[in-house]
Chain A
Amino acid sequence: MAHDRAEVLSLLPLPLATFHILLAVAEDDRHGYAIIQDVAVRTGGELKLSAGTLYRSIQRMLEDGLIVEVHERPAPELDDERRRYYRITPFGAAVARAEAGRLTNLLKLARACGLAPGRA
């Protein structure tokens, strides 16, 4: 689905927490605590999202249409009914790609100046 480029760009740069949450729900639907754990694992324990930051980000991401709440539940023995699951939307994916592209470009610039490892 084509997204309005301007609409995507208007959300950049993404807050760090938002970008990580998008990465966490990119592969699988996840609930809040699972997102926190996924981010912690992915960053080698460097980024531990707090509950407040997580849900404040989730609220904004829902409003911006980056993610949606999904109502399909896992098998009852694996589920806790209080949990809510979130899934990335195509628009969310487009925004995440745009942010990744922005970061890549930034890295290229840094490399060109010898401020980052790798070839320019």
Chain B
Amino acid sequence: MRVYRALLLAFPASFRAEYGEEMRTIFARRRRGTSGALPVLTLWVEAVWDVILNAARVQWDVLGQDLRYTVRTLRRSPGFTSAAILVAALGVGATTAAFSITDHVLIRPLPFADPQRLVDLWQNQQGYSRTELSPANYRDWKRMSTSLEATAAFTDASVNLVGEGDPERLSGQKVTADLFPLLGTKPLLGRVFSEADDRAGAPGTLLLSYGLWQRRFGGDPAVLGRKVILDDAPYAVIGVMSRGFYFPSRESQVWMPMRFEEGDFAERDNLYLRVVGRLRDGVSLEQARAEMGLVAARLERAYPKENAETGATVVRLRDEISEQTRLLLMALFGAALCVLLIACTNLGSLLLARALFRRKELAVRTALGAARERLVRQLLTEALVLATFGGVVGVCLAVAATPLVARLVPNALPIAETPQADVRMLLFAALATVVTGIGFGVIPALRAQRDVDATGLREGSRGGVGGSKEGLRSALVVTQVTVSVLLLISSGLLIRALWRLQAVDPGFRPAGVLTLRTTLPLPKYEKTGRRRQFVTSVLSDIRALPGVSNAAYISFLPMVMRGGIWAVKVEGQPEVPGDPSNASLRFVTPDFFATLGIPIVKGRDVSESDTAESPWVAVVSQSFARRYWPDQDPLGRRLQFGLPGADGASPFGERTVVGVVGDIRVRGIERSSEPQLYLSYQQVKDGWLAWYAPKDLVVRSSADPVALLPAIRRIVAAADLVQPVSDVRMLSDIVSADTAPRSVQAGVLGAFAAIAVVLAGIGMHGLLAFTVSSRVQEIGVRIALGAGASDILRLVLRQGLLLATTGVALGVTVASGAGRAMEALLAGVSPRDAATFLAAVTVALVTTLVGSLFPALRAIRVDPMTAIRTE
């Protein structure tokens, strides 16, 4: 019988209480009347089936009744209903949006086969934790490693596409044929590369990204086999990758085979290959790290000069994400959880007030025979219905908000720019909704129930004032104030950090400078003279345009290309092994410093007369001069860069310093930059350092850049008809993009804080309004006994102030802990920044006091006669 009793638990408690006993009696009679193993078994099977079937139906009926009742009650109070739905929507929406972006960037497996086994391989040497590999080291690592099942190499290879509409610069990759099988990726159309495509002399083959195929080739399946011209060489399209495929980042539009010739393996210090590997099944990351360390050590012994202090770094592909991005997202998610918590407490508070207010109604229902469990269920259903509507609105909010936070998605990961609203996001939203509904529906339901029977029907009983019920509501309001202070302080600190960074001088004046890129293809522009012809023709025509004050070319713009760092050797100073005497190297045309507004502190700019035939010159930044020639005149000093050749001299020649200019933030606002070294664009041997050939055009003008651009395009086309123009941007946009993720984060957090503080104000208002309306009689009596308006005001405000200060004190304590946790994001702003704390505390206090003011004013206006008469 015990089993049957347990079975009956499937029915609602009220049904069990009503009919359980009789059902047990009937079953017992039947059991007594049955003998034999098979008939008894049959009886049990029937009983189980009967209970399951009927319990489900009864539960369903109860749910239906509760839902109908809920809809009726909620309809009767549209104000309460819409407030509750809005609060739930804000909480669920904020958390879902934050989850969707955090999941997209940090959690979700990468869209490749068995992605947790994919790793990136880097060299680490002399102060750099990650550098690319040379083909020789790549070949040896591949050959010697046993912990990796496969390795593949790739390198940036942007190309100019001509012959299909306007010439266009495409960002692409050269990849070894084993890359796609390693990733486990199949093309949408056609095939990927085979070993045959990798061989030197094989006809050029090309894979297109889905985006490029759609945009440039109209999604035409007949594109397979089509010949296109990239950098003056013919390529045949052999495949199109699928829509969600990005590698190594979402910028790649084309992939071409990487071809090594024997000569490529000659130099071990020619570092340009990025390498990805797949761990052998069962091999851990630590094992692979240990083994690659041994491999690197063996190679260091074999090539002590080229591989000096060269180790191996192995990183999971998933973890190729900066610590800062991780922190930014974690802070965002934490803040969203705070908003959810506030929304929940607010909702809980609302429901509790309502439940207490409806105590009489519930007591009547109990007296009329509704079981306690049915009432709890009813209240819970109400909470869940509200939460569900809120959840639906919240998901819409989240979907609408996701593009706004897309700038937090780093470019370096092979994932889409914006997270998709998918099953994971919906499941999370559903979870958040259920937690909201249950977590904060259950407490009020149980609370309201506890003393329904005893006191609810008593005449004049005040719904929920005084004692533990008010204590619970006060605790909820204090929580709201605490969390909103936490959010206000955190977002305040981040905004201060953002302001501080935005105030950092980049070393140049970005306003009014238009930038664009004309990458000159090889081998067409291999010769320095040919490049000079193009550059001077373009620059002289642009300088003649109305409104243009300066124009120049540089290898790469600051903050766009942060690398290009070379070892430097200065005449008369000994070489210290392992000394990171590095500088960022750029070739420039005359007038570059004037165009960017970089001051020439000493000496002169490079000039058109600094040709290959004249003495080779260099312009250095102030920090460069300080480092090598402190308190001396740097002009006339001589220097070299790059590793010395067999004769001990740099193959790139010796240069004489002719000028000193201001330092600029090459690596961006937040990071320190190496000293800068600028060389004349004409002073480089044909075919050497082609990657450093000037390609970024900067134009300072007072004219509208939009009006200027067509003229510049015409000028470029006049210099070379098939030369594409790409990366058109304002320099000021480049600078602000450097702090864009921060701006987005500070904005989102600020919005969260604003929501939180408003909700806390509403929560305070709700609590006090409720207290006042329940204490109308008491207030009336006090007024009748001679209490003045100020006494009544004090009575109500004192309660509000007490709650607000408690919340603020707790919030400040928690926030100082949170500030320390995110110190890395604060760019030097103290995690206990007094101004931020003061501002946050003021905002929180003012908002909550405004929330208490309305109920307090209502209390003063209580008419003692009316109030007492209702007693």
Contact = CB atoms under 8 A, between A and B. Distances in A.
Given A59-B15, A59-B18, A52 B25 contact: no
A33 B18 contact: no
B633 interface: no
Nearest to A53: B54
B55 A82 contact: no
Interface in B50-78: 50-51, 53-55, 57-58, 61
B784 interface: no
Nearest to B29: A33
Chain B, interface residues (CB within 8 Å), range: 20 to 34
A58 B46 CA distance: 20
Contact of A60 (B27, B47, B61): B61
Given A33-B29, A50-B46, A55 B57 contact: no
Contacts of B61: 60
A84 B21 CA distance: 10
A42 to B, nearest CB: 18
Contacts of B57: 56
Interface string B1-37: 0000000000000010011011101110100000000
B718 to A, nearest CB: 85
Contacts of A60: 61
A53 B23 contact: no
A105 B15 CA distance: 37
A58 B18 CA distance: 11
Given A33-B26, A33-B29, A60-B61, A52 B55 contact: yes
A90 interface: no
A52 B23 contact: yes
Contacts of B50: 50-53
Nearest to B10: A52
Contacts of B22: 31-33, 51, 55, 82-84
Given A50-B46, A56-B58, A33 B25 contact: yes
A104 B26 CA distance: 34
Candidate in A31, A33, A59 with the most chain B CB atoms within 10 angstroms:
A59
A59 B22 CA distance: 13
Contacts of A54: 26
Interface in B261-306: none
B59 to A, nearest CB: 11
A31 B15 CA distance: 17
Contacts of A50: 46-47, 50, 54
A56 B15 CA distance: 9
A36 interface: yes
Interface in B228-265: none
A36 B26 contact: yes
Nearest to A33: B26
A51 B15 contact: no
Nearest to A31: B22
Nearest to A82: B21
Contacts of A56: 54, 57-58
Interface residues of A, number: 18
Contacts of A83: 22
Nearest to B27: A51
B375 to A, nearest CB: 17
Contacts of B27: 51
A20 B19 CA distance: 19
Contacts of B25: 33, 80, 82
B370 to A, nearest CB: 12
A33 B47 CA distance: 15
A61 B814 CA distance: 58
Nearest to B61: A60
Contacts of A31: 22
Interface string A67-102: 000000000000010111000000000000000000
A55 B15 contact: yes
A47 B421 CA distance: 52
A53 B58 CA distance: 10
Contact of B53 (A36, A52, A84): A52
Candidate in B15, B25, B26, B47 with the most chain A CB atoms within 10 angstroms:
B26
Given A32-B26, A36-B26, A53-B50, A58 B19 contact: yes
A66 to B, nearest CB: 15
Interface in A3-58: 31-33, 36, 50-56, 58
B791 to A, nearest CB: 54
A81 to B, nearest CB: 10
A68 to B, nearest CB: 14
Nearest to B65: A63
B10 to A, nearest CB: 10
Contacts of B46: 50
A52 B25 CA distance: 12
A36 B18 CA distance: 18
B14 to A, nearest CB: 9
Contacts of B55: 52
Given A33-B29, A59-B18, A51 B23 contact: yes
A62 B871 CA distance: 40
B21 A55 contact: no
A31 B25 CA distance: 12
Contacts of A59: 15, 18-19, 58
A37 to B, nearest CB: 10
Candidate in B21, B22, B27, B46 with the most chain A CB atoms within 10 angstroms:
B22
Contacts of A58: 19
Nearest to B62: A59
A83 B22 CA distance: 7
Nearest to B54: A52
B15 A52 contact: no
B67 to A, nearest CB: 16
Interface of B: 15, 18-19, 21-23, 25-27, 29, 46-47, 50-51, 53-55, 57-58, 61
Question: Which 4 residue pairs spanning A and B have beta carbons closest together?
Answer: A52-B54, A50-B50, A55-B19, A52-B50
Interface of A: 31-33, 36, 50-56, 58-60, 80, 82-84
Given A52-B55, A56-B54, 10 more contacts: A32-B19, A51-B22, A52-B53, A52-B54, A53-B50, A55-B15, A56-B58, A59-B58, A60-B61, A82-B21
10 contacts: A31-B22, A32-B26, A33-B25, A33-B26, A36-B26, A51-B22, A52-B55, A53-B53, A58-B19, A82-B25
